Amino acid sequence: MSSKTSTINTLASGHSPRGAWESLDDLWRAAAPSLRARSNDIHTPLSFLFAELVLEAHPEADALVTRVAILLHDSGWSRVDASKIISEGFRGDWRTSDVRYLHEREGCNIARELLPGLGYDDDFITKVTDIIDGHDTRLEHHSIEDAIMRDADRLWRFTPTGIGLASGWFGKTPHDYRDQLESTTFAELITDRARELATAELARSVELLKLDVI
């Protein structure tokens, strides 16, 4: 990835999304118990914010579907045996481990359990679960909403918070995790806006965490 810093509006430059998004606080509260596993109560709000930053560049996308999908995408980790989340979900063939598939399936179940009571209809819920299902294990994306959710899922990892948590999950130093971000995660980003955001975030993280030094 390019090391050139960008002037794009992102967390690293002190910006929040500007869109006039409708509040999803009721859904956040309903989902909260399902977001306590694996620091998803840190990952999910940050990735939600990045989804909104990418949505600013994609007015053609259904923002509500995208925002609800990223909010619930990892809720299924709450139904995975906590002792297996790291040992099977982040080591070896982690991408195709049973717990990866399980957290996707359970995330769809949680969406089907929570969303009807908050007024979402079956058609909307299916659009959300089509994105959650396979979000880690499918190689391809099926829609712009799917693409933005996948980009947002990765973008938070370029922040100091993401490097802090994810380097521990992968058992790497922050320095070595940066290499993984640059060699693998960056190449998986789909939208141009996500690549711009990732570049700006990583430049700031390299500075703050002294990743060129230690």
Closer of 86 and 214 to Fe ion (Cβ): 86
x/- mask, Fe ion, residues 25-64, rule CB under 5 A, reads ----------------------------------------
Give the count of residues interacting with Fe ion (CB under 5 A). Answer: 3
Q: What is the separation of C-alpha 115 from the centre of its chain, rounded to a whole number of angstroms? A: 20
Question: Tokens at residue 49, please?
Answer: 């914010």
Q: Which stretch binds Fe ion (CB under 5 A): 68-76, 141-149, 181-189, 203-211?
A: 68-76
Of 136 and 201, nearer to Fe ion (C-beta) is 136
CB of 34 to Fe ion, least distance (A): 13
In the range 123-142, which residues lie near Fe ion by CB under 5 A?
Answer: 136
Q: Which is nearer to Fe ion, 52 or 74 (CB)?
A: 74
Q: Which residues of 20-57 are buried (b: 16+ CB within 10 A; e: fewer)?
A: eeeebeebeebbeebbebbbbeebbebbbbbbbbbbee
**d(C-alpha 145, C-alpha 127), whole Å:** 9
Q: CB of 174 within 8 A of CB of 211? A: yes
What is the nearest approach in angstroms of Fe ion to the Cβ of residue 133? 11
Phi-psi bin for 173: left (phi > 0), alpha (psi -120 to 50), beta?
beta
- Figure out which of the listed residues 52, 74, 88, 201 binds Fe ion, where binding follows CB under 5 A: 74
2 versus 137: smaller Cβ distance to Fe ion: 137
Interatomic CA distance for residues 159 and 132, integer angstroms? 23
Report yes or no: 162 and 43 within 8 Å, Cβ to Cβ.
Answer: yes
Are the C-beta atoms of residues 54 and 9 closer than 8 Å to each other? no
Kindly state the smallest distance separating residue 40's Cβ from Fe ion, in Å: 7
Contact letters (x/-) for Fe ion, 140-159, by CB under 5 A? -------------x------
Least separation, in Å, of the C-beta of 156 and Fe ion? 8
Q: How far is the CB of 1 from Fe ion (least distance, A)?
A: 20
Q: Is residue 86 within a helix (H) or strand (E), and if so which, with residue range?
A: helix 82-89
> Could you list the residues that contact Fe ion (CB under 5 A)?
74, 136, 153
